[in-house]
Structure 1
Amino acid sequence: MPLPPRWLRRLVLAPGVVLLAFFVVATLPAWALLALAASPLVPGRLRPLRLLWIGAVYLVWDAAALLALFLLWLGSGFGAYKRAPAFQRAHYVLAGWFLRIMFWQARWTLRLSIDVVGTDPDTALPGRPELVVCRHAGPGDSFILIHALVNWFKREPRIVLKETLQWDPAIDVLLNRLPNRFIAAGPDGRDSVVRQIGHLAAGLDDDDAFVIFPEGGNFTPSRRLRAIDRLRSLGLERMARRAERMRHVLAPQPGGLLAALDAAPDAGVIFVAHTGLDQMLTVADVWRELPMDKRIAMRFWSVPPEEIPAGEQERIDWLFDWWARIDTWIAANRNGAADDA
């Protein structure tokens, strides 16, 4: 389904979510009784009730964020000064608050914990911007990364996202007010996407973190095979063979990262691997895992700018080398207990 135009999302979708949240809260006791009655009929401990709670909390979270964003819009002179530094900072602070609430609920409802090892963006290159290059696998992995960057490492992320994420009204409003880019291939395809990424990565300051997922989508076995086939169709047999040896990641698409490196030559690079949610590939997988009781392991590696190769092909090989290292780390840590290798 195509994404509705912005005016329709603002005038219909966003107010609709707020009204729906009020309705769900008002009728929540009745829904809770139904979910409790259904719980003995399905496997897992109170699975329908947990699912109802997760959905209700997320809906209220979205509605509360929209109301807070509306107040910021009023305070910025009906949006006239929303790009001013003070209001940009206020939006990052707001994002941090709401992400803390989300992960507090995740720890309580789903029994999730996050174990982070390796160099973090605070200590790797103090006073320099970072390009944060992350694998993409499992539900909510991008939320986990942004939560870490904003709340733990006090960075201001610039994110490359798929345009379909704008179906979520809070994500749509918040991230469109900050320097992020929702990507949709234009008439000239990948060249348009690469140009947009390069433009977003330009002008990073010392507390910025440019976030990119070079796989282009969540890992699934079928996507992995399609990525390998695509490399072969382009005549990149050597890269295809390298991708075949990586079992837990998709072959990275280097164009966006190359554009970001060119646009931000003084930035360091942080590679991020994680595991713990990557075996949940479908809605059925998520349902089967509730309550999750998962330990999410994250590993950060830092590369200073002087160690980044200069040539295009050297950078592509370097990216594949790092992706192979990430694949090896995932294979060793799929039980969620992170090592520091």
Structure 2
Amino acid sequence: MLPPRILRRLVLAPLVIVMTVFMLVTLPFWLVVTAAASLRLPPPQRRGLRFVWFGTAWLTLESAVLIACLWLWVAGGARRQERHYALIRWFLSEVYAAAVRIFQLTLEIQEPEPTAEERAARLTRPVIVLARHAGPGDSFLLIYHLLAIYGRRPRIVMKAALQYDPSLDVVINRLPNAFVPRESGQQRVVEEIRRLAATMGDQDALVIFPEGGNFTPRRRRLAIRRLEEKGLAEEAERARGMDHLLPPRPKGAITALEACPTADVIFVAHTGLDDLITLGDVWRKLPVSAHITAKWWRVPAAEVPRERDERVRWLYDHWEQIDAWIDAQRRARAPADHPAPGPG
């Protein structure tokens, strides 16, 4: 059960600031202890120092956001959306910069050069972003690029439990987003998607993850079984042909298209840290350097199918395209991951 908002503001938010001060004061101690513990490990497994450094940077940025939000509230700017979008942009850019320095993160985006008409349309139409859901921080990277590079104002439906993060709780609740409790079910998610899509302006972007969660082989098997139990034989067969994705749940995407028919659609694929799902995975497997490759496809509103059945097939078409792209990226990366043995 999520604590009431007033309790989160009076307890969780100050606690983050206290923890930040504690970490900054005791940082030399933690660095020495972590460095000593890492000496017994081979270099690729010496992740402790990087995690301590990144955790301290994250806490510092969280505290800065909370203090800025408090100042906006005192100064009467709590309802000024542009200031909060700027605050999110600053926070995510600093987190991204920290990840680049500490984890040697590199991000490559493959996107066709837009025509003059497409470039103009980017500034005059809302967009619905349908993204793959896999790996750590994919939502943060996606939102950062929508804000920083494409000048969009993202909207997203999130799990209510994410409000345990005080800065996320404060900032996101002041903007047109939605937190949905787990027990509310899929219908509540769809209703919030409809509400957010129906009120979008030209600079807004609604972000949806049609898979509903991170990919695992078990989730893939269960999703295919559910399709078969519902009598959706064609969708189940197409889902069996995708090795890297969960079958998309079309209801949310179709609801968004119906609520905002003038929106262009952007499909987002990415790969590189797919196997890092839990914190344990990140701790055990995080490579010395992290590289993420992403690809974006844009579909103008005029080219989006109008009938529901056509939209479902169209969504699966693009999901198969994303799956094939991920497979090609992994095959291209395999020789570098497993170099051939030298002579002799």
The TM-score normalised by the length of structure 1 is 0.91
Task: Report the equivalent of 2:27.
Answer: 28
Residue of structure 2 aligned with 1:201, choices 187, 197, 200:
197
Question: How far apart are 1:167 and its partner, in Å?
Answer: 1.5
Q: Secondary structure at the match of 1:333?
A: helix
8 Å Cα contact 1:17-1:62 kept in structure 2: yes
8 Å Cα contact 2:127-2:263 kept in structure 1: yes
- Which sections of structure 1, spanning at least 5 residues, go unmatched? none
Question: How far apart are 1:137 and its partner, in Å?
Answer: 0.2
8 Å Cα contact 1:109-1:291 kept in structure 2: no
Task: Report the equivalent of 2:61.
Answer: 61
Task: Report the equivalent of 2:312.
Answer: 316
- Which sections of structure 2, spanning at least 5 residues, go unmatched? 334-344
| Change over 3 Å in CA distance of 1:335–1:24 after alignment to 2 | farther
8 Å Cα contact 1:13-1:169 kept in structure 2: yes
8 Å Cα contact 2:131-2:210 kept in structure 1: yes
Q: Secondary structure at the match of 2:179?
A: strand
8 Å Cα contact 1:185-1:193 kept in structure 2: no
Task: Report the equivalent of 1:253.
Answer: 249
Q: How many residues align?
A: 328
Question: How far apart are 1:194 and its partner, in Å?
Answer: 1.0
1:278 paired with 2:274, answer yes
Distance of 2:291 and 2:15 partners within structure 1: 35
Aligned pairs for 1:32-181 within 5 A: 32-45=31-44, 46-76=46-76, 82-83=78-79, 87-119=80-112, 123=119, 125-181=122-178
8 Å Cα contact 1:269-1:302 kept in structure 2: yes
8 Å Cα contact 1:297-1:336 kept in structure 2: no
The AA in structure 2 aligned to 1:72 is: L
8 Å Cα contact 1:184-1:193 kept in structure 2: no
Question: How far apart are 1:186 and its partner, in Å?
Answer: 5.6
8 Å Cα contact 2:126-2:200 kept in structure 1: yes
Distance of 2:21 and 2:263 partners within structure 1: 45
1:306 paired with 2:302, answer yes
| Change over 3 Å in CA distance of 1:174–1:147 after alignment to 2 | same
8 Å Cα contact 2:136-2:273 kept in structure 1: yes
The AA in structure 1 aligned to 2:100 is: R
Q: Secondary structure at the match of 1:284?
A: helix
Deviation track 1:112-136 (CA, whole Å, cap 9, x = no partner) reads: 1110111489836331110011000
The AA in structure 2 aligned to 1:252 is: P
The root-mean-square deviation of aligned C-alpha atoms, in Å, is 1.8
Task: Report the equivalent of 2:340.
Answer: none
The AA in structure 2 aligned to 1:325 is: Q
1:243 paired with 2:243, answer no
8 Å Cα contact 1:269-1:305 kept in structure 2: yes
| Change over 3 Å in CA distance of 1:44–1:286 after alignment to 2 | farther
Distance of 2:148 and 2:310 partners within structure 1: 34
Instruction: Give me the identity figure in percent.
Output: 48
1:327 paired with 2:320, answer no
Distance of 1:294 and 1:157 partners within structure 2: 25
Quick check: 226-235 or 166-175, which moved more? 226-235
Q: Secondary structure at the match of 1:334?
A: helix
Q: Secondary structure at the match of 1:41?
A: coil
8 Å Cα contact 1:66-1:169 kept in structure 2: yes
Aligned pairs for 1:7-22 within 5 A: 7-22=6-21
Q: Secondary structure at the match of 2:306?
A: coil
Q: Secondary structure at the match of 1:278?
A: coil
Quick check: 252-261 or 280-289, which moved more? 280-289
Deviation track 1:40-78 (CA, whole Å, cap 9, x = no partner) reads: 1223354211111121111222111111111111122xx
8 Å Cα contact 1:276-1:336 kept in structure 2: no
Deviation track 1:9-47 (CA, whole Å, cap 9, x = no partner) reads: 111111111111111111111111101111112233542
8 Å Cα contact 2:269-2:294 kept in structure 1: yes
The AA in structure 2 aligned to 1:99 is: L
8 Å Cα contact 1:274-1:330 kept in structure 2: yes
Q: Secondary structure at the match of 2:202?
A: coil
Question: How far apart are 1:185 and its partner, in Å?
Answer: 5.1
Question: How far apart are 1:253 and its partner, in Å?
Answer: 0.8
The AA in structure 2 aligned to 1:29 is: P
| Change over 3 Å in CA distance of 1:334–1:166 after alignment to 2 | farther
Distance of 2:278 and 2:182 partners within structure 1: 25
Distance of 1:292 and 1:304 partners within structure 2: 39
Task: Report the equivalent of 1:296.
Answer: 292
